[in-house]
Structure 1
Amino acid sequence: MRGAEGVVERVDALLRGGYIGREKAAEVVAAEPRAASREVLEWLRTLAGAGAWARFGRFALLAAELHPEGLAEVVVPVIASGAAGGAGGANRAEGAGGAEGVLEDLVDLAGEIGAVEAVPALAALIDGRRESGADAPYFALSLKCVHALGGIGTAEAQAVLRTVATGDHPGVLRWNAAVELGIEDELGYDEDEMLGPAESH
């Protein structure tokens, strides 16, 4: 990325200090048109290789607004590795967002862009968090995985959701997975019971 370092620095300066959405993406592209090209994928690969996860998260959210072909191929391996879990969220104040920040943002992104390649990684995250107990008591990352699977909506994603909805996961996850599938009534679930304190752990 040696020749692009100056561009990356300029783009990152524009991305800091504000919500990264459609308006921010348009502002960045107006100032630096190269951000709208597939070159952004190479920047992401280089940032991932360097472990620059907060910056990677910002650039991934920018790319999600610009829809370069091949974005999922760059983002999904990062989700699968879990390596980005130690950085603050890209759409949060610098240094804020907690230990799961960027990983949560990438999971959201996978759902928004319909990344079918992400389904196994999202399923593995849910299972891994259940086994380790790392997501209790609020299950923020696992819930984001559930909603991302709902956004992807393929048969494979729906099969994972059904497994969560009917398995031995915490009530809040089973309820949300059932809602994503529209089967909460079929399963006889009661929202108050499923989301109550006794079902949170």
Structure 2
Amino acid sequence: MNNVGLLYVGAVLLVNGLMLLGRVPARSAGALNLFVGALQCVTPTVLIVRAGGDGDAILAASGLYLFGFTYLYVGVANLARLEPEGVGWFSLFVAGCAVVYAGLSFWRQGDPVFGVIWLAWALLWTLFFLVLGLGRQELTRFTGWAVVLLSQPTCTLPAFLAMTGAYRSNAGTGLLAAAAAVALVALAALLARSRGAETATPAPAAATTA
């Protein structure tokens, strides 16, 4: 069930990245954030209830609330035209938790690919904090491109792979995932510096997981 939610997170991240790039109006993106945010809160609740006290299952589901709350917060903020600072500072909390979940993926769960994915999400939420919480508007375009480029490889692709039984995580695939993430972040930096596109005004946007 968590992979179903991850699939739709890829969609909302893509839309939010385009919002930061000024391609999608904030209010237009708000509805999708509410839909996915609700899904990402209902899903872990069901998983935890069905876990029967299994600590590993509860731990695996717990991270979903970080992103469910983010998307709900963004949806409400966009539709109600709230100031973005609250979303920004909450994003800092999410980024810190994402680093912890990355460590758990690497050293407790033996899943280096998802460890890399968690680190990518930590980067995105850190950027949300800088843009929305601290008002670093010069990072808006880079953040938008980073979200757009990382949304599908960190969400949609692993979701489809997991649901079709094709997901593999080992040292080799982990290194490949890390190299791909670094390359995409570098590409986002290059696109952010490209001429002919004005920096979008920062608006509450979300980003991430499962």
- Aligning the two structures, in what range does the TM-score lie when normalised by the shorter sequence? 0.3 to 0.5
TM-score by length of 2: 0.32
Which structure features the higher share of helix residues? 2
Q: More relative contact order in 1 or in 2 (CA 8 Å, sep 6+)? A: 2
TM-score normalised by L of structure 1: 0.33
